[in-house]
Structure formats: C-alpha cells, structure tokens
Copies of this chain bind each other. A is one copy, B any other.
Amino acid sequence: MTTIQNRQILLAKRPAGMPTEENFSFVETAVPKLQAGQLLVNTLYLSVDPYMRGRMNDRKTYVPPYALNEMITGGVVGQVEESLAEGFVPGDIVLGNFGWALYNVAAAASVKKVNPDLAPISTALGVLGMPGLTAYYGLLDIGQPKEGETVVVSGAAGAVGMLVGQIAKIKGARAVGIAGSDEKINYLVEELGFDAAVNYKKGDLRQQLKEACPSGVDIYFDNVGGTVSDAVLSLINKGTRIPLCGRISLYNLEQADIGPRIQTQLLINSALMQGFIVSNYAEQAEEGLNQMAQWLKEGKINYTETITEGFDNIPKAFLGLFCGENTGKQLIKIADPAR
C-alpha cells in the first residue's frame, strides 16, 4: 500500500479573547503504518463544540487544555479504511474522539461503532451523541422537570438547547427558549413545539421572559451565562433547579466575569444550581441514548444540523459558534461514506 497523505489542523497559538484563523495551522503529514489493534479511520463528519474554546487556553477547566502545535481533537464520525483489530472491517462507521484530520489512526478500543440503519450517521455527533446526552441528563437528572413546570433554556437553538426544550415538553413541562434571532425563535416555536421563545437581542429580555413565563421559572438550563442568565435568575421560583451546562457568552471574555452575585437569589428561593459535564453520566450513557433513539423514532424529538462542507472550513465553522451562526448541531462534512 502506498503512503497516504494526511492533512491535520494544529493549535498554532493560544487565543486571547475571540480566536481567529491565525490560531490554527494546517499541516500535511503521512499516515503512519498501522499497528496491531489499530484502525485507519477516514473522517466523514467532524464536530465543533463550544467547550473546545476552553481547551485552547493554557488552563485546566474540566478537560485538559490542547497542547500547542498539536492536533486539535474532538468528536468525529468516520469510516474504517483499514483494520488491524478484531471486530472491525473496512466500511464500518465509527465514532471517536479524534484529531481534526482527514485520517486518524485510532486504537480500536477507543472507538464506538455507529449503526447506520438506526439514524443518519451524523446524529452520533448530535441528538444521539454528546449533545443529546448532555440535554438528557442535565435536564432529567439535575432539572427533574415535573408536569406543568416552566423550563427556560438559553442557547435554545443550539445542539443541546433545542433538545432540552423538546424533552421538557415530553415530560409535560412548558418550554421557553432564549435565542439570538427571530428566525431561530420562530424555528423553536413553529418547528420544535416550544411554548414560547424570546430573542435576547431585541428589547428588554427580563420583561419578555416575564411575559413568556407567567408562573415564573422552575428550571433554568443554562448554556450561555452572563447577562442573559442574570435576567432569567431574577425570575426563579421557590425550589428552582439550575443545571449549568455552558457559558458560551463568556468563553472569549478577556476581563473577569463580574455581575450580580447569585447566592442571595438562590438562598431566598431554596434553589439549586449544579454544574455538570456529560462524562459524569458515562456509566448511564447507553440508557440515555436508547431513550433518545426511541423518541427520535417516534417523532417526539426533531432536530436540525448546520453542515459546513470541506476540511478547510473547520476553523471558520468553529468560530461561527460564538457568533450564533449555527442552528442546531454544527458539523463539518468532509466526505460521504464509501459504500
């Protein structure tokens, strides 16, 4: 077999504030020879996610930082091109935490097979993957929605947020979304069945939320942080639960994140705020994925994806996450499966 030329994207420079294309470098390398137990995987879909911004800093958050001049890694759906591992054959579709590259060499033990008959394979990075589980466990385990309660979710038109509102509806709760354009809020209400949605870029957010939540807020699923969250938190009820999932409005902040301290509000309402990361639920992941797949099959969950084409456009698609360019899961399509 001849040497396969590979392309990879490295972290060229740590960003201060909002990253630019300069923080990434493209390199060409040769794919190394496979060892026993390894697979050569051809990238089909690659996921860019907001949490990756934290890994570009030189400071541990809940995952270690990316190393400088090393490949950026994340969720990838690919196809096995060559296998030196039992149980895998060329053509298999797999999910893994791989580098931003056309090809990855991966230990078979670190990948998961994707069943292409269950749903489109890209959903392994979205509704049937990490974002799906994040919505499922954050809302159900921490939020514990009850019938008739009001669930507010920020970043509602994102990969996680759009699922949170729909799961809330399945549980008999009222779903209210916060998003950044009229197009998005129309999508949430008209296509996904949210009871209400508000555009935080228009008018007085607190007033809009007050109207959308006449009985106050029982659960706030927070994807964004900052002043949007300040407004929601001013409307919580006694016993409100607040799953903290993300802080996308702050990931590129260059100064300290200063604002009203939330503790008094939590105290006088006996409210609960809990940070989490999906890996806390690794042991229960199969159960959550099966339930999400079932809901998807029954048409109780809908989803959308924003698909950018081409390896060269990965950094651009990643940067777009912080400008609200995506609706639903942001993916980069690199190739179609070979068969």
Residues of A bordering B, CB below 8 Å: 54, 61-62, 222, 225-226, 229, 238, 244-247, 250, 256-264, 266-277, 280
Contacts and interface: CB of A to CB of B under 8 A. Distances in A.
Given A266-B274, A266-B275, 19 more contacts: A54-B268, A61-B268, A62-B238, A62-B270, A225-B263, A244-B266, A245-B267, A250-B264, A257-B260, A257-B261, A263-B275, A268-B275, A270-B274, A270-B280, A271-B274, A271-B275, A272-B273, A272-B274, A272-B275
Minimum-distance CB pairs A-B, first 9: A267-B275, A266-B275, A61-B268, A272-B274, A244-B267, A273-B273, A257-B261, A259-B261, A62-B268
A63 to B, nearest CB: 9
A208 B263 CA distance: 23
A152 B263 CA distance: 17
Indicate the member of A54, A260, A268 with the most B CB atoms within 10 Å: A268
A331 to B, nearest CB: 24
Total copies of the chain? 2
Contacts of A244: 263, 266-267
A-side interface mostly = mixed
A225 B250 CA distance: 23
B273 A266 contact: yes
Contacts of A272: 272-275
B280 A267 contact: no
23 contacts: A62-B268, A62-B269, A225-B261, A229-B263, A244-B263, A244-B266, A244-B267, A247-B264, A247-B267, A256-B260, A258-B260, A261-B261, A261-B262, A263-B275, A266-B273, A266-B274, A266-B275, A268-B275, A270-B275, A270-B276, A270-B280, A272-B273, A272-B275
Nearest to A267: B275
A269 B61 CA distance: 8
Given A272-B274, A273-B273, A276-B270, A264 B225 contact: yes
A261 B258 contact: yes
A165 to B, nearest CB: 20
B271 A247 contact: no
A280 B239 CA distance: 10
A257 B264 contact: yes
